[in-house]
Amino acid sequence: MLRHFPSLSRLPFAILCMAVLAGCNKTPTEQVPVRAVKILTVGASDTSFDLEFSGEVRARIESTLGFRVAGKLISRPAELGQRVKAGQLLAQMDSQDYQVAAQAAAAQLIAAQSNREVAAADLKRYQGLFEQGFISTAELERRQAADKAALAQLQQAQAQNTVQGNQSHYTQLLADGAGVITSLDASAGQVVAAGQPVVHLAMDGPRDVVFSVSEDKLASLKPGVVVDVRQWTDGKTREAIVRDVSASADAVTRTFVVKAALPKDVDSVLGATVTVSLRAASMRGAKPQIKLPTSALRTEAGATSVWVLDPASMTVKAQTIQVSTADGNDVVVDAGLQNGDQVVVSGVHVLTAGQKVSVFSPAK
């Protein structure tokens, strides 16, 4: 049986039709949209924000009081936060041994006085005998030496009696002046050594604000610089004058302690927390700096960068920067940007390198 085959001349036409249909089904290439962004033209300007530190109100004079002799503490009338007057009893030590020693010294003084009187009487009598020629010069010199020795023993006994008497009085710890007890380091029943701290007393009088700063801020904090002190209790701000800056850094924090004198009329609670502000005008060596909002920053490969606009092509490129410090929602840029650079400040996380953008204009 004969089979019917289609004409071979129609085959090229069918292939051409299939190619045309395939070409019609291709998906067109998607184009990256042009995004509208907010632009900030950067420029260096003088630092306009203040530096702030946390400080504490302290007394100008703080005394660490302790006994001048060793012994057992039998009472401590002083209490933490108590206001005391000059000469008020703060602590009492067992004085029995020192009183006995004082009595012994007093007895030795009486004996030395008696020996001195006997030696002086003998010398006077022997001087008369020497003038009459009854004794030799050597004998008189011996009596003179005995009198000098008795006098020396008397002076020694007098000094010893004074020392023992003072030590019996040293068993009472008295306040050097009026002030407030800020710390207690010993309790009744404890045996303390001579000079061991027992009570810390903040003297009445001038008050200081004490705060710590890093090494790079020392140039702006010299004696005589005025700082603003804001109390947390009432929110009032007062001026204080820097009077002392530590010459060496703290071994642990590596910061420097600064003390500023408060006005005399300020009645601040000891230990109160305050905020110390260093005025921008007081900063020495402050150079013009570039500031950017934190919304312009992006992190890539551990580095901080921003998108910089190329006005000619209206595309963006990444620029690595170096940030030195922050002030609220702004950062200070040390390196990476120049005056006149246009930086994208919003929508930075949806941009790519070389992407075309348009400058956003708010509707009027």
Looking up tokens 């009487």 gives: 121
> Are 72 and 194 members of one domain?
yes
Q: Please indicate, yes or no, if residue 324 is contained in any of the structural domains.
A: yes
User: In which domain, by residue range, is 73 found?
Assistant: 68-92+171-201
Q: Is the pLDDT of residue 153 over 90?
A: yes
How many structural domains is the chain composed of? 4
Least confident of 11-20, 75-84, 178-187, 308-317: 11-20
> Are 106 and 156 members of one domain?
yes
> Are 268 and 320 members of one domain?
no
Sheet bearing 83-84, strands edge to edge: 62-65, 199-203, 179-184, 83-84
Please report the pLDDT score of residue 347 as a whole number.
73
CA 330, 334, 336, 340 torsion: positive or negative?
A: positive
Which of 220, 246, 278 marks a domain boundary? 278
Q: What is the mean pLDDT of residues 35-53?
A: 69
> Are 190 and 88 members of one domain?
yes
Instruction: Give the C-alpha separation, 244 to 289, whole Å.
Output: 29
> Are 250 and 309 members of one domain?
no
> Are 178 and 136 members of one domain?
no
> Are 85 and 194 members of one domain?
yes
**Residue 309 contacts residue 270 (beta carbons within 8 Å):** no
CATH of the domain at 186: 2.40.50.100
Q: Please indicate, yes or no, if residue 29 is contained in any of the structural domains.
A: no
Q: Please state the pTM of the whole predicted model.
A: 0.56
Q: Please indicate, yes or no, if residue 101 is contained in any of the structural domains.
A: yes
Q: Is the pLDDT of residue 271 over 80?
A: yes
Q: Please indicate, yes or no, if residue 364 is contained in any of the structural domains.
A: no
> Are 294 and 234 members of one domain?
no
Percent over 90 (pLDDT), the chain: 43
**Residue 331 contacts residue 292 (beta carbons within 8 Å):** yes
Q: What is the mean pLDDT of residues 47-75?
A: 86
Give the number of other CB atoms < 10 A from CB of residue 344.
Answer: 23
Instruction: Give the C-alpha separation, 191 to 364, whole Å.
Output: 83
**Residue 170 contacts residue 95 (beta carbons within 8 Å):** no
> Are 158 and 102 members of one domain?
yes
Give the number of other CB atoms < 10 A from CB of residue 22.
Answer: 9
Q: Please indicate, yes or no, if residue 175 is contained in any of the structural domains.
A: yes
Q: Please indicate, yes or no, if residue 320 is contained in any of the structural domains.
A: yes
Q: Please indicate, yes or no, if residue 20 is contained in any of the structural domains.
A: no
> Are 295 and 355 members of one domain?
yes
> Are 177 and 297 members of one domain?
no
> Are 186 and 217 members of one domain?
no
Q: pLDDT per residue over 4-27, tens digit each?
A: 444 444 545 555 455 545 555 555
Q: Please indicate, yes or no, if residue 63 is contained in any of the structural domains.
A: no
